[in-house]
A = this chain, B = another copy of it.
Amino acid sequence: MSRWEFTLLLAAAAFLAAYAVPILDTGLAPAERHLCNAVEWLTWGLFVFDYVVEFRKSNNKRKWMIRHIVDFAALILPMLRPLRLLRIVPMLRVLNRMTVASLRGRVAAYIVATTFLVGFTASLTCLDVERYAPGSNIHTFGDSAWWTIATMTTVGYGDHYPVTTEGRFIGAALMISGIALLGTVTATLASWITEQVERDDDRLLSEIRSLRQDIAKLQRQQANSR
């Protein structure tokens, strides 16, 4: 992990804190509220800067632009308040850049980190939009977190659920994340079990190796007989 990636990671943590505090503590003074807002924009600025640097480093500007269109959207769209949630996308991108040795280890680490980040920001945002909505039943962070985990695991008790359109969009995103989460967990497990069970390939490999030794012996035999 380079120094710059570490800075981006810190920026992501600072953004999460600045995003969470005004939602969790409703009795914040205006000055504190302004500070959090400033931190949010500052960290966002860092991610924009990172995007620009990466863009300038690329050889084929056009191709890079097309391949990173999602990153571009994830930087621009959160300027609209209801889409603030999308600010976690650049953070996930930073996570993705840090390489771990094995593919399966990387998948597992990515599942845990993504699930936590998505769940945490969704809980916060859902609490923010639902708290004072008429007919709502999500009033505390506990309710919101409980609803989030019940949704992501596809349990869905129905004791708490969003009633606003924004809340429902967050819910839909969580459900799809849940499906993807479940699928990835299962697939990773299946791949691991399959690998443990399937040792036939190794048997094949050793067969072929002893075959090559036979051939080598044949070559020596022939060299001697000449």
Contacts and interface: CB of A to CB of B under 8 A. Distances in A.
Interface in A26-44: none
Interface in A63-99: none
A191 B180 contact: no
A107 interface: yes
Nearest to A221: B222
A222 B183 CA distance: 57
A45 interface: no
Tally of this chain's copies: 4
Contacts of A221: 219, 222-223
Given A212-B211, A219-B217, A225-B226, A179 B185 contact: yes
A37 to B, nearest CB: 30
A215 B222 CA distance: 13
A112 to B, nearest CB: 11
Interface in A172-226: 172, 175-176, 178-198, 200-205, 207-212, 214-219, 221-223, 225-226
Contacts of A171: 146, 149-150
Interface stretch (A3-11, A51-59, A121-129, A153-161): A153-161
Given A156-B156, A157-B161, A193 B188 contact: yes
A169 B45 CA distance: 37
A192 B159 CA distance: 37
Contact of A207 (B183, B208, B225): B208
A182 B183 contact: yes
A131 B132 CA distance: 28
Given A157-B157, A207-B209, A208-B208, 11 more contacts: A103-B193, A107-B193, A154-B154, A154-B155, A155-B156, A156-B157, A179-B181, A183-B185, A183-B186, A201-B204, A211-B212
